[in-house]
Structure 1
Amino acid sequence: MTKKMICLFDVDGTLTDARQPIKPSVEKFLLETVKKQFDLAVVGGSDLNKITEQLGGKSVFEKYKYVFAENGLIAFESGKQLSTETIQSVVGEEALQDFINFCLKYISELHLPFKRGTFIEFRSGMINVSPVGRNCTKDERVQFYEYDLEHQIRQKFIQALKKEFPDLALTYSIGGQISFDVFPNGWDKTYCLRHIRGYDEIHFFGDKTTEGGNDYEIYESDLTVGHRVTCPEDTINQLNILMALIKERREREQLQVPMQCA
């Protein structure tokens, strides 16, 4: 029997370059080739506005069966919004303010090559922390990313938070080039899987799949078949390989079906 499958994609680094719109060639391949064989879904840590900006505005709900923002805390199925939760309902307002105040103080004492604006972005299911500020340009993003690789700014920041707030049940996840996400334990990208029903296989594609990356938990999940990619072009290459393997598997299954007499 043919298995029902869905392809679930991370956004930044998988379908798009960091915080950039999807390339027309990538979108065309997804919608005109891949969608003929699989349902499509996307999951990102960003808020819904950022994801829709990158993936074509409101038409994103027509292109993808599921759209998950903030790791799935904001969820849509066939354009219909599903139930949601908030970080403040779990952590509590007082603890949340203590946490944010510590972040702002820590950032104020950092000496970086440059700083811009929007260091803390509050979302429904998480807090996004950017030591350099989310208002930096595309070139500045690359500069900070390279600086962070050498000096481990984000990793040291996370260690300081873990030391200061050992009793808060929070997960810290580095994603993209300039920030990291903070959310209640279990609210990583595996959160979105509770909404996906009726499939025999969920194929997940992501680029931050090593431990500490924001694709790690869902890539390693027993509920998904994980595909580690390096860029949108690599995603296309791996989809071509997957489609070839599925075609071969289906042809083999057809050959194994016993002939029936008329």
Structure 2
Amino acid sequence: MPRKILCLFDVDGTLTKPRNVIESDLYTFLLEKVKPHCHLGLVGGSDFKKIAEQMKGEDVIHKFKYVFSENGLVYYRNGKEAGKQSIQKFIGEDKLQNFINYVLKYLSSITLPIKRGTFVEFRNGMLNISPIGRSCSQEEREAFYTYDEEHGIRKTMIEALKKEFPDLDLTYSIGGQISFDVFPNGWDKTYCLKHLQDEGFDEIHFFGDKTDKGGNDYEIYTDKRVIGHKVSGPNDTKIKLTQLFNL
């Protein structure tokens, strides 16, 4: 019997140029040349709306067997929503409020060159915390980044949170210039694999561009349950698929 194979793709930087829409020739190649040889899936850190924008519309859920948005916290199977998880549901409202209250109390106790608004942004799968506030201007953003590099505002705050909440099993990830993300341990892209464990695949091939340690594809790329393929962009993805299936 033929082997049951899934090809699972990161979106941004793998199937599309960063923050762009997938090129028509690659989309056609996936659906007409690759799909006859395997099932197709997407896994991205963005919400479904953003993934759909990059994949030419919401009907992507009918063209790919699986669409895992927010690393699989919200996912679609065979064109229908099949599951949804949230940090609120996972941690519980009481613990979440205690955490947010502590964050706001902590921020009220420190003085920065400037502060603006939106210090805690609640997302489906994480909290995004910004000591300066996300409503700052680009100039203010860059100034804070320079200040933070010298004074370690974010690193110090993370250490305080780890000490205050040792039992919440949270991951703290500094990214960008002004903020850091907080999410439950294991809610990286490997989260989507739990939805596939009973699907009977003989092989799961993952294609991603941020596969080095610290990149958001690293955990799934190195996971023993998948065969990882590091790509440098959409053209390289096409080349590696051509080689994999002798197209």
Q: Structure 2 length as normaliser, TM-score?
A: 0.75
1:217 to 209, 216, 219: 219
Task: Give the root-mean-square deviation of aligned CA atoms.
Answer: 3.7
Give the CA deviation at 1:46: 1.2
C-alpha deviation, 1:187, in angstroms: 2.3
Whether contact under 8 Å (1:87, 1:124) holds in the other structure is yes
Contact 1:175 1:214 in 2 (8 A): no
Equivalent position amino acid for 2:214 in 1: G
Retained in 2: the 8 A contact 1:203–1:225?
A: yes
- Aligned residue for 2:216, secondary structure, equals coil
Are positions 1:234 and 2:230 aligned together? no
Give the Cα–Cα distance (whole angstroms) in 2 for the partners of residues 177 and 15 of structure 1.
Answer: 26
The match for 2:183 is: 183
**Would the aligned equivalents of 1:174 and 1:213 in 2 still touch at CA under 8 Å?**
no
Residue of structure 2 aligned with 1:202, choices 194, 201, 204: 204
Quickly say closer, same or farther: Cα 1:84–1:47, change in 2 above 3 A. Answer: same
- Are 2:91 and 1:91 equivalent residues in the alignment? yes
1: CA distance between counterparts of 2:19 and 2:134? 10
Matches of 2:133 and 2:29, distance apart in 1: 34
Distance 1:26 1:130 in 2: 37
Task: Report the count of equivalent residues.
Answer: 236
1:72 CA drift (Å): 0.8
Q: Is the 8 A contact 2:131 2:154 kept in 1?
A: no
Question: After superposition, what is the alpha-carbon deviation per residue over 1:226-253, rounded to whole angstroms, capped at 9, x for unaligned?
Answer: 1122222222222222223xx8xxxxxx
Mark the runs of 5 or more structure 2 residues left unpaired by the alignment. Answer: none
Q: Secondary structure at the match of 2:193?
A: helix
What is the percent sequence identity of the aligned residues?
Answer: 58
Distance in 2 (alpha carbons) for counterparts of 1:191 and 1:101: 28
SS in 2 for 1:82: strand
Amino acid at match of 2:61: F
Where structure 1 has 5 or more consecutive residues not aligned to the other structure, the ranges are: 248-262
Distance 2:178 2:41 in 1: 25
**Alpha-carbon distance between aligned partners in 1 of 2:153 and 2:239, rounded to the nearest angstrom:** 31
Structure 2 vs 1, CA of residues 195 and 5 (structure 1 numbering), >3 Å: closer, same or farther?
A: same
1:79 aligns with 79
